[in-house]
Amino acid sequence: MAEERKVYSRTKGILPDTVSGFCPGCMHSTVHKIVGEAAEELGQLDNLVRVEGVGCCGLGQFYVSCDETIAAHGRAGAVATGIKRSSPNSLVYTYQGDGDLAAIGLAETLSAANRGENFTVIFINNGIYGMTGGQLAPTTLVGMKSTTTPLGRKAEEHGYPLHICEIINQLTAPYYIERVSCDTPQHVIAARKAIKKAFQYQLEGRGYSIIEVVTSCPTNWGLDTLSSLNFLREKMFAEYPLGVFRDRGKETADDSSAKV
């Protein structure tokens, strides 16, 4: 019998013997884990710089092992621009939730995307403000209850959910746009591949990439962990379909193969 060996170990991208501050079933910690794994696979853990938004994502400051800074609410895109321009060899990513990126930071996000800044955005979309107690976010689904819309979001009063990937896909500069999720092991593996690809593009200097991760928020959705997975699959995926919106790297590879 062959000798037993470790085939899956905890990534060095998160601190050893540390318990994250996230709620049970929250996928923020899954994303922290796969970001660490993606950077570890690329051998870039020492080179990784994280810019955090404000909100639940700020809890990651006690959990990740890379260098990081916390931007003012919504301004992670602007701060990451400064860091990447002054230290172009660093692998820079911003980690923002929907209340940060899609609400107060929409201008910074779109401006950075429009300039085609060479960093990666990881956008956690759970359709609600988590840390402040479940208020309406721009990405909240129509009819979904939150503490500021106790009767459910009404389109005529509060507007419709904002689709960030679709909006950024209208711009010319972004290089890679994909929407993934973390609800099954297969989706976790796909999400890690997407993040790794975005990091790879950044290291090659290709430009702006955004990975939107559609996740659940069992605490503020008022569901247990397994029902929140069902809600995620039935309602969130219907509003936010997963998939690649743009992958210029693949397009150019296809073009070059077509010419040959």
Partner 1 sequence: MARVEIYTEACKSCSYCVISCPKKTLEISEKVNSKGYLYAEQVRPEDCIGCMMCAQICPDAAIEVWR
Contacts with partner 1 by CB under 8 A lie at 1, 4-11, 14, 19-20, 22-30, 33, 182, 184-185, 188-189, 225-226, 229
Distance between CA atoms of 147 and 167, rounded to whole angstroms? 27
Residue closer to partner 1 (CB basis): 5 or 259: 5
Cβ contact 164:137 at 8 Å: no
The contacts of residue 58 (CB under 8 Å, 6+ apart) are 52, 70, 131
CB of 234 to partner 1, least distance (A): 16
CB of 124 to partner 1, least distance (A): 13
CB of 169 to partner 1, least distance (A): 29
β-partners of residue 91 are 48
Residue closer to partner 1 (CB basis): 26 or 103: 26
Q: Roughly what angle, to the nearest 10 degrees, separates helices 185-203 and 28-41? A: 50
CB of 19 to partner 1, least distance (A): 5
CB of 84 to partner 1, least distance (A): 28
CB of 65 to partner 1, least distance (A): 12
Distance between CA atoms of 139 and 3, rounded to whole angstroms? 50
Which residue in the block uniquely carries the two structure tokens 């701060």? 79
The contacts of residue 223 (CB under 8 Å, 6+ apart) are 216, 231
Residue closer to partner 1 (CB basis): 187 or 206: 187
Question: CA 87: distance to chain centroid?
Answer: 22
Distance between CA atoms of 211 and 194, rounded to whole angstroms? 7
Residue closer to partner 1 (CB basis): 30 or 109: 30
Residue closer to partner 1 (CB basis): 4 or 157: 4
CB of 102 to partner 1, least distance (A): 23
Cβ contact 65:45 at 8 Å: yes
Which amino acid is residue 76, in one-letter code? A
Which residue in the block uniquely carries the two structure tokens 């899956």? 8
Residue closer to partner 1 (CB basis): 17 or 255: 17
142: nearest Cα among 238, 242, 28? 238
**C-alpha count within 13 angstroms, C-beta hemisphere, residue 155:** 5
Residue closer to partner 1 (CB basis): 87 or 225: 225
Which residue in the block uniquely carries the two structure tokens 């107060």? 104
